Structure formats: structure tokens, C-alpha cells
Amino acid sequence: MTQIPDVTLNNGISIPQLGFGTFQIEPENTREAVRTALEIGYRHIDTAEMYGNEKEVGQAVRDSGLPRGEVFVTSKLNNGFHARDDALTAFDRTLADLDIDYVDLFLIHWPLPTVSDYVETWKAVEEMGRSGRTRAVGVSNFTRAHLERVLAETDTVPAVNQIEVNPYLAQDEVRAFCNAHGITIEAYSPIAQGKVLDDPVITAIAERVERSPAQVTLRWHVQRGDIVFPKSVTRARIEENSRLFDFELSPDDMAAITALDRGERTGFDPDTFSWIPG
């Protein structure tokens, strides 16, 4: 694997621009998948209490034998624990399940604007940041309106906003807002869970530059400056997705992919998503 560049967050810490996603990896497959990613050279793992695989992620990080400081670990606050005390307990639980002393980044997974007050939850996350048990704090699935409230009503600018971004959902407005306020974008579902890989614009570019459609799509993200963490349980794909830093897309190819935007989500709408674990 060629060297993965780092991105510097607004509190000065570095995060590898390419990571490994673990959504929809069953617990029994997680240890192997994460171990494979670390073996191949990934040094950034994205998990969440909601994924039900934090224990296995932590196990795989330990299995790798890498010093803790060499692997960037992100987890997220599950829905249903947005009240301050519940949030602090959920954070303790994440650290216990991962069985590590600190995470590198901790995020509010969903804003849940219809069921709770994400500003109050953000204040609890600020406390976690001050505890030193997470090196950075951020949010996920926050729209511009949600971020405007957080910026107006609290003291900490989120280090990242993890949102769905892919060629069918370019997210220009919220990306521009975040860029203007020093909030780094993490682009989740970067290949739209596979949906964009048959797009004729992407397959034509892939053929011409002699790369796979997944590599072309992930490279598009990287050149836009976003952080990505594609998920795969397939060793060959985990390897393929890591080879992004030894080729470049032309401005015309970048523009052609950006023009595919049709505002189409793969996941849920953050303004209405209100699922709480039972």
C-alpha cells in the first residue's frame, strides 16, 4: 500500500484520510475483517455502538500487535442515549467494549431532532472531550441547520461531520459550510454501498485510467479532501480500496463524477430518522 496521507483536524490532531468501515459486518466476521485491513496497511477504523461489533474491533486492534497510538479508532454515541448521564454512561461502555483507554474520535451518531435536543447531547460530548478519553469529538448526520445551532449555542466546533457523500449525493451545501468552519468531512457510504459502481460515467473513466470503479470513486473523494472508510469483508476488495494514492483524476474526470449528483440517499434522512434501540 502506498503511504496514506493524514488530514489535520481543527484541534491539531492527525487522522489518516483512508480508513476501514465496519457497518453491517457481523460480530463473528469483524475480527477477521479488521485484522485483514490492518495487515494490508489501514490505520483507521470506524465503528459504533450501533454496529454491535466494538468488542471485536478492539480485539482485532490488539491482535495486530500495533502500538495503540498507530491506529486511529472512531466510535459513536448510539441513539437512545442522548440525555447527558446516559451519554456519559454509553461512552464508558464503548471504551469498556473496545477495551482501550481512549478513542481517537467520538461522534454523536445521529442528531435525532424529532426526539431529543442534540445541543444538550453535544454539551455532554464536550465533557467527554475534556476528560481526555477521546482525542477529538464530532458529529455525524448533522445538516447545516443542526450545525448552526451547535456553533451558536456551545463552545466547541465539532472536529468532523460524518455524513453520507457519494457521486449520487454530493452534499455541496453542507460540505461548503463545514469547510468554511474548519469541520472536516468524513464521507460515509462512499461508493453508495456499491450502487455507483455500474454507473457508465464511472465505468468509462475506470476503463481509461485502468483502475476499478471503486478506486475511481474513492479517489474522487480523496481529491475533494474528504476522509473515506469503505467497508468490505472481502480481502481482495479491502486491498483494492487501499490503492488510491498512486494515481490522479483529471479536473474533467472530477467534474464529470461530481455532475452525477442527483440528491439520492442510500441511508436515512437526518431530519426525520428517529430510530431508538429497543
CB of 266 to ligand NDP, least distance (A): 7
CB of 13 to ligand NDP, least distance (A): 19
57: cell is: 474491533
User: Does residue 16 bind ligand NDP (CB under 6 A)?
Assistant: no
For ligand NDP, which is the closer residue by CB, 178 or 251? Answer: 178
**Chain Cα centroid distance, residue 152:** 24
Pick the piece of the chain touching ligand NDP (CB under 6 A) from 18-26, 52-60, 113-121, 123-131.
18-26
Environment class of residue 147 by beta-carbon count within 10 Å: exposed (0-12), middle (13-18) or buried (19+)?
Answer: buried
Q: Report d(CA 22, CA 52) in Å as an integer.
A: 10
What is the contact mask toward ligand NDP in residues 91 to 110, using x (rule: CB under 6 A)? ------------------x-
Binding residues for ligand NDP, total number by CB under 6 A: 29
Q: Please identify which residue in the block is written with the cell numbers 474513492.
A: 218
Q: Report d(CA 221, CA 216) in Å as an integer.
A: 9
- According to DSSP, residue 267 is labeled S
User: Does residue 220 bind ligand NDP (CB under 6 A)?
Assistant: no
Site residues (CB under 6 A) for ligand NDP, limited to 155-174: 162
Site residues (CB under 6 A) for ligand NDP, limited to 41-80: 46
SS3 271: coil
What is the contact mask toward ligand NDP in residues 22 to 41, using x (rule: CB under 6 A)? xxx-----------------
Q: Report d(CA 247, CA 120) in Å as an integer.
A: 44
CB burial string 72-90: b at 16+ within 10 A, e below? bbbbbbbbbbbeeeebbeb
User: Does residue 188 bind ligand NDP (CB under 6 A)?
Assistant: yes
The site for ligand NDP (CB under 6 A) is made up of 21-24, 46, 109, 140-141, 162, 188-194, 197, 212, 214, 229-234, 237, 240-241, 267
